[in-house]
Structure 1
Amino acid sequence: MERPGDDNDDDRTVPLLEPTHGNKQENEDAEEEEIGSLGRRLLEENKKLWVVAGPSICARFSTFGVTVVSQAFIGHIGATELAAYAIVSTVLMRFSCGILLGMASALETLCGQSYGAKQYHMLGIYLQRSWIVLFICAILLTPIYLFTTPLLIALGQDPKISAMAGFISLWYIPVMMSYVWGFTLQMYLQAQSKNMIVTYLALLNLGLHLFLSWLLTVKFHLGLAGVLGSMVIAYWIPILGQLAFVFFGGCPQTWTGFSSAAFTDLGAIIKLSLSSGVMLCVELWYNTILVLLTGYMKNAEIALDALSICLNINGWEMMISLGFLAATGVRVANELGAGSARRAKFSIFNVVTTSFLIGCVLFVIFLICRGSLAYIFTESKAVADAVADLSPLLAFSILLNSVQPVLSGVAVGSGWQSLVAKVNVTSYYLIGIPIGAILGYVLGFEVKGIWIGMLLGTLVQTLVLLFITFRTDWDKQVEIARERLNRWYMDENGRQRNSRENP
């Protein structure tokens, strides 16, 4: 339920959170009077949005740029190396990234809502709990990287490409481990709107990776090992910088040092993390299935190379959408934690509209450019022609991606991960992939058929999430957020109290 005067940060709810009573209409009228005109509301909301979205988009562009720079250098080493890199980066890394990022999104929900409720010290405790859960998960994922070659061969992939992928995957083990700290630190910082430090480090590191890749491959002729070695360095330097920022005074309100409280309530954190993991996993693995199905086709090397380039171009646009996903999660979580259903709804409307307009512009640009961008990644005319043929589907993917991740951000901010996981499984795996397989293999449309089917699955998921979002009772969501925060609240001495106790 909403409270009059919510726009004043000093008057926001503090732990423990008490339900509000009184006339709802009076509360809404008072809040409306404070907020003012629609233009002013939009201006205020966009300031809050871009404080998180701007740095988040820049950081994701820079981080994704590390992958693209690596692919550009590897693409000029050889076609087999490029195809193997496509499988590892798109299949294996998307698999582990989906699990770790999904599980880390539980931290995004908890940190965002706790910060909105001024339970500041709880952010540091939630961060440490996520480190424990994600590190154990990363250890369990390591054998996949150790046995990549036999796994891919067992799945029917080309033996030559599988052998090269096995070599590349070993270099990706430290990259995967970096995600444990990278994902969690970014979510912890952006919940406080302190993610500019992430941007600075990521931009600096992208330039360093570009220089090191050129130095090690062109000057020192280290080939594939040179590119991959530079990539490992590129992933770890920002993490060390972020840890230094947090540990040495960058977050005095939310980081009070290591605490034994991090080892309590792990069962509840694991449960929410698993729901979050399933929600994002099935989403991020969707393109992985596209790559795997492509690998079974005739002339798989050219098809994989073309598809890899398309997915990387699509990935650039996805960095914008993921930046909005992060910002949406933070804005919705902050407002639910602060007890404002009205501002939570308004933030959703604003970010969906903004992201969709950007997607429309990019849709037109990529339709015009078509396959000309392929020559950044390859010298093969056959691969470039294949990319040009797939460009219309790429443009429609970009348009859908401008809305769908934002709706996932609403789910993260609200704590709906379990519900959205069911929607994703139904839309993607019971609708999208079966239709794609029929179009691709039975009707002979090959890669284009598979992609069309998967686009239909994404469209269904987007429409369902839109329906859920606009039919939601946001006052009830405020109460759910309050109950969750009170249930897991601990005071600064590590003592746990329930919602029936007085603060």
Structure 2
Amino acid sequence: MDNNTQAPLLTSKDVGASAHFTGDVEDIPPINGIHEFFVQFGVESKKLWYLAGPAIFTTVCQYSLGAITQTFAGHVGTLDLAAFSIENSVIAGFSLGIMVGMGSALETLCGQAYGAGQIDMLGIYMQRSWIILFVTGLIMMFLYIFATPILLLIGQTEPISHLAGKMALWMIPQLFAYAANYPIAKFLQAQSKIMVMSYISGIALVFHTFFSWLFMLKLGWGLAGGALVLNSSWWFMVIAQMVYILSGTCGRAWSGFSMSAFSNLWSFVKLSFASAIMLCLETWYFMALILFAGYLKNAEIAVDALSICTNIVGWAVMIAIGFNAAISVRVSNELGAAHPRAAKFSVVVVVVFSFIVGVMLAILLVIFRHQYPALFANSLEVQQAVYALTPLLATCLVINNIQPALSGVAIGAGWQAVIAYINIACYYIFGIPLGLTLGFAANWGVKGIWIGMLTGTVVQTIILVWICYRTNWDKEASMAEKRIKKWSGQKEVAGEQ
């Protein structure tokens, strides 16, 4: 990469607090010996946690909006909990996977452009993503409108399907909040402007908790009150983040709305679609777990117990997604700045921390295994079912803390299409058939379904570790340079994929 495309712009006021992370002109030196390893590990840890800390807080807060609504629904009634769980996991979960996936194309493009000093393109990329995601939202809206017949078609019980379908209609505003929010999030993350996102998410969570209790329980509005508060909380975050961007704090990264956003849209759609497939296959995988539980005997108890477990897994995964966001920024910035060794070493550091955090969460869960089920449901039968799943849940916390971090590496490097194929093989050709075999044919029930699907995640994680180990990071830096030239409108390099 030419020297004039690298660091100088990254030390300007446009970059903000992250300048000292990606502004170094030279790559890290080769590591020889244990002492040098730990020195570089300490340096990279500071860079990673500068990003990961606020990102973890932000993702936990945003996930907790739906999780808290689900928790209050569990105190309204078992049918309400099952209906909201299905809507939140199947309908909203399906849409969320598509929106986050398509928005994640910006993590590759914005991150690598930022690392190379092409700051002006970030706002254009975000606007292109908005156009694509809002059109996608209009298409996805039919899923919400026809949620009841769709749920009945796939075998859910009538009471759950009708109530979940009503809830889905109420949650259409959240769908378009997803479309607006995730491009904004990737735009800010690429510049390491994550603290403002954490402040806004924290404020939203505090008000969301209070008003959910007020409307759902105190005033007795039930799921209708939950829908009102959940929609309002998501749109509050979108509006607050846009006020921050429009105030001029992002410098040259945001220079206003531009007709350039409508150029090269089809190529952007293809990249967004590849990103969506990769992340949707992961999101829908756990959505399928809830669906399969609906086919078991005593489906309401099975769905309630699994929804509580996936709720907890979701909170833990939000921590991992904080690492996902941080490592995608680190890898994309360093590859964009032609620092392959720094990109490679950042992968080592994030895997170590992801494993440590996952083990700590599993230990806490085991320690409080007798207490935590009562926080999510009043039914003793549901609590006992959750308690029986605790060992499996603890194992899941460890595995599912590492896998999203590795997916972040893939996003930062632009490997979305390759990872999509791996997800299809590990999840849908191997994991789901194994889970169904153990759950239904072997009559292991919920445990069998979960064990089979968790095995698919383990296989996928092992493959991702192997890919990261075998990657030629010098080649990836060269690919990043070609990608930046292509998407910034420079002459396309022959052979660019």
TM-score, scaled to structure 2: 0.92
Offset at 1:93? 1.2
d(CA) in 1 for partners of 2:436, 2:80: 27
Question: Which residue matches 2:16?
Answer: none
Residues 48-447 of structure 1 correspond to what in structure 2 (within 5 A)? 48-447=47-446
Q: 1:151 to 1:371 in 2, by over 3 A?
A: farther
1:151-190 CA distance string (max 9 Å, x none): 1111111001111001111122111110111111111101
d(CA) in 2 for partners of 1:62, 1:29: 34
d(CA) in 1 for partners of 2:10, 2:193: 20
Question: Which residue matches 2:481?
Answer: 482
Partner SS, residue 369 of structure 2:
helix
Letter aligned with residue 93 of structure 1: A
Letter aligned with residue 317 of structure 2: M
Letter aligned with residue 179 of structure 1: Y
Letter aligned with residue 236 of structure 1: W
Aligned residues of 1:127 and 1:185 also touching (Cα < 8 A): yes
1:61-105 CA distance string (max 9 Å, x none): 111111122112111111111101110101111111111111111
Moved more, 361-370 or 74-83: 361-370
Aligned residues of 1:371 and 1:389 also touching (Cα < 8 A): no
1:360-400 CA distance string (max 9 Å, x none): 11122222322521111111110000001111111111010
Question: Which residue matches 1:19?
Answer: none
1:269-315 CA distance string (max 9 Å, x none): 11111110100011110111111111011100001000000000111
Q: 1:217 to 1:40 in 2, by over 3 A?
A: same
d(CA) in 2 for partners of 1:218, 1:320: 29
Aligned residues of 1:109 and 1:413 also touching (Cα < 8 A): yes
d(CA) in 2 for partners of 1:339, 1:67: 40
Aligned residues of 2:330 and 2:412 also touching (Cα < 8 A): yes
1:15-52 CA distance string (max 9 Å, x none): xxxxxxxxxxxx8796779xx94343223212221222
1:312-366 CA distance string (max 9 Å, x none): 0111111110000111111000000000100000111011111111111112222
Partner SS, residue 194 of structure 1:
coil
Letter aligned with residue 353 of structure 1: V
Partner SS, residue 371 of structure 2:
helix
Question: Which residue matches 1:10?
Answer: 8
Q: 1:321 to 1:257 in 2, by over 3 A?
A: same
d(CA) in 2 for partners of 1:70, 1:278: 28
Letter aligned with residue 8 of structure 2: D
Q: 1:29 to 1:201 in 2, by over 3 A?
A: closer
Letter aligned with residue 49 of structure 1: L
Offset at 1:111? 0.5
d(CA) in 1 for partners of 2:94, 2:369: 29
d(CA) in 2 for partners of 1:263, 1:479: 28
Aligned residues of 1:279 and 1:420 also touching (Cα < 8 A): yes
Letter aligned with residue 413 of structure 1: G
d(CA) in 1 for partners of 2:427, 2:228: 35
TM-score, scaled to structure 1: 0.91
How many residue pairs end up in the alignment?
479
d(CA) in 2 for partners of 1:65, 1:474: 36
Partner SS, residue 402 of structure 1:
helix
Aligned residues of 1:198 and 1:242 also touching (Cα < 8 A): yes
Offset at 1:11? 8.5
Q: 1:30 to 1:234 in 2, by over 3 A?
A: closer
Letter aligned with residue 284 of structure 1: T
d(CA) in 2 for partners of 1:31, 1:288: 43
Pairwise CA RMSD of aligned residues? 2.2
d(CA) in 2 for partners of 1:392, 1:214: 31
Moved more, 362-371 or 223-232: 362-371
Aligned residues of 2:127 and 2:257 also touching (Cα < 8 A): yes
Question: Which residue matches 1:472?
Answer: 471
Q: Does 2:37 correspond to 1:38? A: yes
Aligned residues of 1:63 and 1:202 also touching (Cα < 8 A): yes
Partner SS, residue 221 of structure 1:
coil
Letter aligned with residue 452 of structure 1: I
Letter aligned with residue 106 of structure 1: A
d(CA) in 2 for partners of 1:107, 1:11: 20
d(CA) in 2 for partners of 1:32, 1:256: 41
Question: Which residue matches 1:17?
Answer: none
d(CA) in 1 for partners of 2:217, 2:472: 59
d(CA) in 2 for partners of 1:200, 1:477: 34
Aligned-pair identity in percent equals: 44
Question: Which residue matches 1:18?
Answer: none
1:190-217 CA distance string (max 9 Å, x none): 1101011111011111111111122223
Letter aligned with residue 93 of structure 2: R
d(CA) in 2 for partners of 1:474, 1:194: 26
Letter aligned with residue 386 of structure 2: V
Aligned residues of 2:323 and 2:354 also touching (Cα < 8 A): yes
Partner SS, residue 378 of structure 1:
coil
Letter aligned with residue 389 of structure 2: L
Question: Which residue matches 2:459?
Answer: 460
Q: 1:103 to 1:70 in 2, by over 3 A?
A: same
Please list every run of 5 or more consecutive structure 2 residues that lacks an aligned counterpart in the other structure.
Answer: 13-25
Letter aligned with residue 212 of structure 1: F
Aligned residues of 1:52 and 1:193 also touching (Cα < 8 A): yes
d(CA) in 2 for partners of 1:2, 1:373: 56
